[in-house]
Amino acid sequence: MKVALVSGYGSIVDLIFQALKDDGLDPIIIDLSGKRKADTFADTLSFSISSVEEFLELLRREGVTHIAFVGKVDKTWILEKFHISLSESYASLEKGDINLLIALKGLLESQGISLLDLKRYLFPYITQEKIYTKKGPTEKEWEDINFAKSKIKVLADMEIGQTIIVKDKIVYAVEAIEGTNECMRRTKHYGIEKGVLIKAGRTGQGFDLEIPAIGLETINVAIESNIRIIGIEKDTTLFLEQTEAIRVANENDIKVVGFSI
């Protein structure tokens, strides 16, 4: 089995790469983000892809049998590079995140390439129902969390976004194609103070397509964006770089909690 990590950016890329190596596999990295720094691993192959034809030729040349999507992938890249090759059936799709990836999955399977379920490699990072930081939410903050929980699953299932930011039961921002970090930065322009960010997976969220996650970068952007509560759904989201992320959160009075819906 030859695995290609079709990657965006973020610490999860190197984490999964090393886990696959430890499992006796020989993965390669295919960079879709244009943001990846020089590889930590000397024997990694890293590529930037400019067309679907180049992408498929690369997979054939490298003998790839399985693919895993990891890290934040810019959906505009898929729109620009893949829609031409997804035939007329693509035109009828709603172009939400998961539908774009499902269409891409279908294209790959037609070439004999399967998606790799990453759950066993990510098990230590799957969110639990618990308070991660020293301080938990106040009663009033739980009201905002519960208010946002009642909406985010619907938004995620509708392919609108997997993150919502609220304060005093007012919705300040909903994540769309821009991603969680830019969603947070938008709320700062509205003068939010001590905002509440909630992230959840889709109903039936799997571990073979894009998985919602937070990590150290999320905490740092939350600090600059006046977000002080981060709630993540258990079993469907990932909490990466936990030790350092929790340390920084505690130092900056940010509360991180895993919840269930």
What order of strands is seen across the sheet that includes strand 195-199?
170-174, 163-167, 195-199, 227-233, 255-259
Question: 96 pLDDT exceeds 60?
Answer: no
Write down the pLDDT at residue 159.
80
Q: Taking 60 as the threshold, does the pLDDT of residue 213 lie above it?
A: yes
pLDDT score, position 84: 43
- Count CB atoms within 10 A of the CB of residue 147: 19
What mean pLDDT is predicted for residues 167-177? 92
User: Which fold does the domain 3-116 belong to in CATH?
Assistant: Rossmann fold (3.40.50)
Instruction: Please give the average per-residue pLDDT across 131-137, as a whole number.
Output: 97
Higher-pLDDT residue of 92, 100: 100
Name the residue with higher pLDDT: 105 or 29.
29
- Of 106, 121, 126, the closest CA to residue 25 belongs to 121
List, for residues 145-164, the tens digit of each pLDDT value: 999 998 999 998 888 889 99
Q: Does pLDDT of 112 surpass 60?
A: yes
Provide the mean pLDDT of the chain: 83
- At 253 the pLDDT is 97
8 Å CB contact between 222 and 188: no
Strands 163-167 and 195-199 come out as: antiparallel
pLDDT over 90 percentage in the chain: 44
Q: Is the pLDDT of residue 78 over 70?
A: no
What strand order describes the sheet that includes 3-7?
46-48, 28-31, 3-7, 66-70, 114-115
Helix axes 97-109, 75-82, angle to 10 degrees: 50
The pLDDT of 234-245, averaged and rounded, is 95
For residue 138, count CB atoms less than 10 angstroms from its CB and return exposed for 0-12, middle for 13-18, buried for 19 or more. exposed
The tokens for 97 are 């995140």
Pairing of strands 46-48, 28-31: parallel
* Single pTM value for the model: 0.82
pLDDT band at 204 (very low <50, low <70, confident <90, very high): confident
Residue 64 has pLDDT above 60, yes or no: yes
Note the pLDDT of residue 88.
43
Q: Are the C-beta atoms of 37 and 78 separated by less than 8 Å?
A: no
Query: What is the mean predicted confidence (pLDDT) over 235-242?
Result: 94
| pLDDT above 70: residue 196 | yes
**Which range, 47-56, 125-134, 210-219, has the best average confidence (pLDDT)?**
125-134
Instruction: Name the token pair of 72.
Output: 């934040």
Domain 124-259 has CATH 3.40.50.620: no
| DSSP structure string for 50-115 | -SHHHHHHHHHHHT--EEEEESB--HHHHHHHHGGGGHHHHHTS---HHHHHHHHHHHHHTTT-EE
pLDDT score for 69 = 80
Band the pLDDT of 199: cuts 50, 70, 90: very high
Contacts of 16 (CB under 8 A, 6+ apart): 5, 68, 70, 118, 121, 122
CB 165 within 8 A of CB 184: yes
Query: According to the model, what pLDDT value does residue 259 have?
Result: 96
User: Rounded distance, CA 23 to CA 123, Å?
Assistant: 14
Asked if 116 contacts 169 with a C-beta cutoff of 8 angstroms, the reply is no
Map out the domains of the chain as residue ranges: 3-116, 124-259
Higher-confidence residue of 215 and 188: namely 215
